[in-house]
């Protein structure tokens, strides 16, 4: 209830924010929303629907909002708020059950760590774009299904009774499939679950496959749904993929700068920008320091996977979650976007909290929880900017 109250208190002020940016092609000019709910049309979003293109689950939620309230923006924002609350609870549940299963973490510490992480994540200013920009609910939906997949796996692995175990496994596979139909980020979910199994349960990749091979086959099958959606949507109306004017090498160089920026914003969220434009880096000399830093982080992640599995798992989650949008596949209309950090922010914050907990097991709450107020204050100020479109774009140009 505390987590839900914090989300509601912070984001209720966003309900009157106008449609902006990609909301117009995805909602205002999206003819499939007018077919009613439910309908077959809502599962076939048009090529020009921006964040809803090729993502039938996202389009279906927009169609439901339109059926209930037309173009009244309050209903769309309320759905985004509810989704953010659901993701917060799912994150809390996954981390809580994971830490309670680890030796060395007393239940009270697991509860405190899980609650602190969920609270800090829920009010972080870096998430405001995802929650307030309606069409960015694709990040919320894929994050929710991603975490539900992990949660279902955790419950299935911890249950001894046959039918409940199968039901949790089936729920996890269903969540994975819905995530594939929400955003392409979900492609890494089966790999992350396998890595989770190896880190916290089976002890080895081979042992995880041996113990739950059929379960992983079900997860891998959901890749087929993602493949169909990608093949039938023609590079998302010419905005994603190869041969669109941005080379893979230039995009990769640009992502070196993007990854360092995302890391900085995770711990110092200022300034926040809704649109970074379409500029790309063409010469490695421009980002050699960024690239070297990212390579060192990747090397440290590989080392930690074998020597310090838990920090290694969290660092690997950060890179795997960002890999579909921040590697070598060009996204020509947005080369850098803060909303991509919606779920990847969670493993970064958990890494920081675990480090603080390792240094001072109990007093860490004394400095972790007081961060809630300044983070919430910064988020509230950012939400106020979104409420005025002229102010938002003036701030964007200034930054």
DSSP annotation string for 67-129: HHHTT-HHHHHHHHHHHHHHHHHHHHHHHHHHHHTSTT--HHHHHHHHHHHHHHHHT-GGGHH
Q: What does pTM read for this prediction?
A: 0.96
Radius of gyration of the chain from Cα atoms? 21
DSSP 331: B
Main-chain phi, psi angles of 397, to 5 degrees: -65, -40
Residue 237's pLDDT is: 66
DSSP 344: T
Residue that the structure tokens 């959606």 belong to: 229
Residue 275's pLDDT is: 94
Main-chain phi, psi angles of 164, to 5 degrees: -60, -35
> Across the strands, what pairs with 331?
240
Residue 240's pLDDT is: 81
Residue 186's pLDDT is: 97
pLDDT tens per residue across all 399 residues of the chain:
999 999 999 999 999 999 998 999 999 999 999 998 889 999 999 989 989 999 999 999 999 999 999 999 999 999 999 999 999 999 999 999 998 876 555 556 788 889 999 999 999 999 999 999 999 999 999 999 999 999 999 999 998 888 999 999 999 999 999 999 999 999 999 999 999 999 999 999 999 999 999 999 999 999 999 999 998 987 776 788 788 889 999 999 999 999 999 999 999 999 999 999 899 999 999 999 999 999 999 999 999 999 999 999 999 999 999 999 999 888 888 899 999 999 999 999 999 988 887 777 666 666 677 889 999 999 999 999 999 999 999 999 999
Contacts 24+ apart (CB under 8 A), 36-44: 36/63, 36/67, 37/63, 37/64, 37/66, 37/67, 38/63, 39/63
DSSP 197: I
Main-chain phi, psi angles of 331, to 5 degrees: -110, 95
């Amino acid at each position: 209830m505390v987590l839900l109250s914090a989300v509601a208190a912070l984001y209720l002020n966003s309900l009157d924010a106008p449609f902006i940016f990609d909301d117009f092609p995805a909602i205002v000019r999206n003819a499939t929303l007018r077919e009613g709910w439910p309908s077959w049309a809502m599962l076939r979003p048009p090529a020009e629907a921006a964040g809803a293109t090729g993502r039938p689950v996202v389009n279906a939620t927009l169609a439901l909002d339109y059926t209930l309230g037309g173009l009244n923006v309050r209903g769309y924002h309320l759905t985004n708020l509810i989704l953010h609350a659901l993701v917060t609870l799912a994150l809390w549940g996954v981390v809580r059950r994971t830490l309670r299963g680890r030796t060395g973490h007393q239940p009270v510490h697991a509860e405190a760590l899980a609650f602190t992480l969920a609270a800090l994540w829920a009010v972080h200013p870096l998430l405001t774009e995802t929650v307030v920009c309606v069409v960015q609910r694709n990040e919320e939906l894929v994050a929710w299904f991603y975490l539900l997949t992990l949660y279902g796996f955790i419950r299935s692995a911890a249950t001894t009774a046959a039918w409940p175990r199968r039901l949790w496994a089936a729920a996890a596979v269903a969540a994975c499939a819905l995530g594939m139909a929400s955003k392409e980020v979900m492609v890494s979910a089966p790999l992350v679950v396998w890595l989770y199994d190896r880190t916290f349960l089976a002890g080895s990749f081979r042992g995880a496959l041996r113990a739950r091979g059929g379960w992983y086959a079900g997860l891998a099958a959901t890749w087929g749904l993602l493949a169909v959606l990608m093949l039938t949507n023609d590079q998302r109306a010419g905005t994603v993929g190869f041969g669109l004017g941005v080379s893979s090498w230039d995009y990769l160089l640009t992502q070196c700068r993007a990854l360092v920026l995302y890391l900085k914003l995770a711990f110092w969220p200022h300034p926040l920008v809704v649109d970074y434009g379409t500029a790309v880096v063409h010469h490695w000399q421009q980002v050699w320091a960024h690239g070297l830093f990212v390579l060192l982080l990747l090397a440290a992640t590989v080392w930690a996977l074998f020597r310090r599995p838990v920090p290694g798992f969290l660092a690997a989650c950060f890179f795997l979650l960002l890999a579909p949008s921040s590697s070598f596949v060009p996204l020509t209309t947005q080369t850098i976007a803060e909303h991509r950090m919606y779920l990847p922010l969670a493993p970064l914050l958990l890494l920081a909290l675990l480090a603080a907990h390792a240094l001072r097991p109990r007093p860490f709450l004394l400095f972790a929880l007081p961060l809630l107020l300044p983070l919430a204050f910064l988020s509230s100020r950012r939400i106020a900017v979104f409420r005025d479109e002229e102010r938002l774009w003036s701030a964007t140009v200034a930054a």
